[in-house]
């Protein structure tokens, strides 16, 4: 058996009693032909391997370069160096893979995040991305644990969809028709009957509509999968391919929905605080160092860990859209005309600068905004009695802006159809969706949490491209 290895993370907590172990990993540094700092991705902390002088031939020593891969057997002994408990005294070293130091793009020095994006296939081997992706994993695990423990059913909704009714964003067409010579109808339009599915299809922008179908049978479900938006927004918060978590619950109203969302966000943050403190500490320090380069007023007022603790220990602020407009209108920021998009009044869509003002300057904590004007929200949101607003809720987070978008859904068939007509949603095509309202309709609600925005919030990474392995953005689908 080849792979009988000890993970470095586990090894570093063992009592050093001379026990024999085998480790495998990649060299971070090799000093004085004697000290190998070995990393295997289980932690940012390297294992110090001590190679006795004269133990290896010169030829072999030369091959121990940064990022060469090694299999090392040795004895665990108390460390002579500072900052670690154990060393490994090597008894045998196999070089599994060489790494040409001249050509290897990741030198043991600080690289910019922009540069690392160009070598995204190698950036996992840095401390920053080691921490980010271990935390991303932990968050994903916590998502499943949270819902599973609550009795929610994990539903896989389709990636390819024939409905474009959600209207959440522009969609990517899925087709097998030849793009240079597509079959045409008599009137010159493309004949999609000849396409693979016999109709136009796209990559999904959301699993919500299908989620509602399952929630009206299982009670509580959630989805966790990739979604796609062909929106040309080159921002630090938008990807063309991102992962979304969408719980959908029968017998929930808007308040139940907000309560669940807040509990959920706190739960997954707590999970990471309890299980990934080492990585969080590393990223917190990284952020502090990075912010030292910035002018004082651009720096965070509190560190990453304090921010997360603060979120855990405080209720999210809950206010209506109407109140938010008032706060923004009355703000000095507005009076001094500092918003790029002025506050024109009730009915306007909030821009991210407005959302960020509310969370970062005014409340200084996450905010749940509810009851938006129906004109700026989707057709399926439940209409409030005032005739003007819908039972929508968005959660805004400091540094990120919108992290959750959700609503109580319109369960009354007549109201729903009337709204669909007004918004030119094809009612006949949506027969399957409307069936849930025909056959035993129930009050229900749900929300969507952008997973990468959550990872951004927890890791403090300012660009969404740095929290997904291989980002898809306008003009970029490398790797």
Q: By the 8 A CB rule, do 246 and 233 touch?
A: no
Q: Is the distance from CB of 208 to CB of 166 less than 8 angstroms?
A: yes
What number of other Cβ atoms are within 10 A of residue 104's Cβ?
15
- Taking CB under 6 A as the criterion, the residue among 38, 64, 135, 239 binding ligand ATP is 239
Nearer to ligand ATP, 88 or 458 (CB): 458
Q: What six digits make up the tokens of 29?
A: 């540094």
CB of 133 to ligand ATP, least distance (A): 17
Letters for 270-299 (x = contact with ligand ATP by CB under 6 A, - = none) are ------------------------------
- Choice between 43 and 227, CB closer to ligand ATP: 227
- Which x/- pattern over 390-409 shows residues binding ligand ATP (rule: CB under 6 A)? ------------xxxx----
The strand ranges marked E within 304-437 are: 317-320, 367-373, 389-397, 401-408
Q: Which residue is nearest to ligand ATP (CB)?
A: 450
* Contact call for residues 48 and 28 (beta carbons, < 8 A): no
Q: What are phi and psi of 140, to 5 degrees?
A: -65, -45
Secondary element (H or E) of residue 175: none
CA angle in degrees (0–180, nearest 5) for 273-393-386: 160
Near ligand ATP by CB under 6 A: residue from 26, 133, 224, 242: 242
CA-to-CA distance for 305 and 286, rounded, in angstroms?
12
Site string for ligand ATP, 354-393 (x = CB under 6 A): ----------------------------------------
Q: Which of residues 428-457 bind ligand ATP (CB under 6 A)?
A: 448, 450, 452-453
Instruction: Tell me which DSSP letter residue 290 carries.
Output: H
Report which DSSP code applies to 296: G
CB of 372 to ligand ATP, least distance (A): 11
Neighbouring CB atoms inside 10 A of 267's CB total: 17
Binding mask 130-169 for ligand ATP (x = CB under 6 A): --------------------------------------xx
**CB 60 to ligand ATP: min, Å:** 47
3-state secondary structure of 343: coil
Q: Are 343 and 334 in contact (CB under 8 A)?
A: yes
Q: How buried is 457 (Cβ within 10 angstroms: 0-12 exposed, 13-18 middle, 19+ buried)? A: buried
Q: Please identify which residue in 24, 244, 358, 458 interacts with ligand ATP, judged by CB under 6 A.
A: 244
Query: CB 471 → ligand ATP: shortest distance, Å?
Result: 10
Residue count at the site for ligand ATP (CB under 6 A)? Answer: 15
Q: Which is nearer to ligand ATP, 138 or 467 (CB)?
A: 467
- One residue of 63, 134, 136, 238 binding ligand ATP per CB under 6 A: 238
Q: Is 280 or 404 the residue whose CB approaches ligand ATP more closely?
A: 404
Q: Is 258 in the site for ligand ATP (CB under 6 A)?
A: no
Q: HEC states along 359-394?
A: HHHHHCCCEEEEEEEHHHCCCCECECCCCCEEEEEE
Q: Which is nearer to ligand ATP, 14 or 232 (CB)?
A: 232
Interface ranges with ligand ATP (CB under 6 A): 168-169, 229, 238-239, 242, 244, 402-405, 448, 450, 452-453
């Amino acid at each position: 058996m080849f792979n009988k290895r000890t993970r470095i993370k586990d090894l570093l907590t063992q009592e050093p009693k001379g026990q024999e172990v085998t480790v495998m990993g990649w060299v971070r540094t090799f000093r004085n032909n004697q000290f190998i700092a070995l990393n295997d991705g289980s932690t940012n902390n390297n294992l110090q391997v001590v190679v006795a002088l004269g133990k290896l031939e010169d030829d072999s020593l030369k091959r121990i370069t940064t990022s060469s891969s090694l299999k090392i057997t040795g004895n665990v002994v108390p460390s002579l160096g500072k900052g670690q408990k154990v060393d490994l005294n090597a008894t045998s070293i196999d070089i599994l893979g060489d790494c040409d130091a001249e050509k290897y793009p990741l030198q043991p020095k600080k690289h910019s995040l922009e540069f690392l994006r160009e070598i995204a296939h190698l950036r996992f081997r840095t401390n920053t991305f080691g921490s980010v992706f271990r935390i991303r994993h932990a968050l994903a695990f916590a998502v499943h644990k949270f819902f599973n423990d609550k009795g929610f059913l994990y539903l896989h909704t389709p990636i390819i969809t024939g409905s474009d009714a959600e209207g959440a964003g522009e969609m990517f067409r899925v087709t097998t028709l030849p793009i240079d010579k597509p079959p045409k109808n008599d009137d010159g339009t493309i004949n999609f009957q000849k396409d693979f599915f016999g109709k136009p299809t796209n990559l999904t922008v959301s699993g919500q509509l299908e989620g509602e179908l399952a929630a009206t049978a299982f009670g509580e479900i959630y989805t966790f999968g990739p979604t796609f938006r062909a929106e040309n927004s080159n921002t630090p918060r938008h990807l063309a391919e991102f992962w979304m978590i969408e719980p959908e619950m029968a017998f929930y109203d808007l308040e139940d929905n907000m309560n669940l969302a807040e509990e959920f966000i706190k739960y997954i943050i707590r999970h990471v605080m309890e299980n990934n403190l080492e990585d969080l500490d590393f990223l917190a320090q990284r952020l502090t160092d990075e912010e030292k380069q910035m002018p004082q007023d651009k720096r965070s007022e509190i560190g990453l860990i304090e921010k997360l603790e603060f979120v855990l220990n405080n209720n999210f602020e809950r206010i209506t859209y109407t109140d938010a407009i008032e706060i923004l209108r009355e703000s000095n920021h507005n009076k001094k005309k500092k918003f790029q998009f002025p506050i024109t009044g009730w009915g306007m869509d909030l821009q991210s600068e407005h959302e960020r003002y509310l969370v970062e300057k005014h409340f200084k904590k996450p905010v749940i905004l509810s009851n938006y004007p129906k004109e700026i929200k989707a057709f399926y949101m439940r209409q409030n009695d005032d005739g003007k607003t819908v039972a929508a809720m968005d959660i805004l987070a400091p540094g990120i802006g919108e992290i959750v978008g959700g609503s109580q859904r319109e369960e009354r068939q007549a109201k729903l159809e009337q709204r669909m007509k007004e918004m030119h949603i094809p009612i006949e095509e949506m027969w399957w969706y409307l069936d849930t309202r025909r056959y035993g309709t129930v009050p229900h609600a749900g929300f969507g949490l952008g997973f990468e925005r959550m990872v951004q919030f927890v890791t403090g990474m300012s660009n969404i491209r740095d929290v997904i392995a291989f980002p898809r953005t306008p003009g970029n689908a490398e790797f």
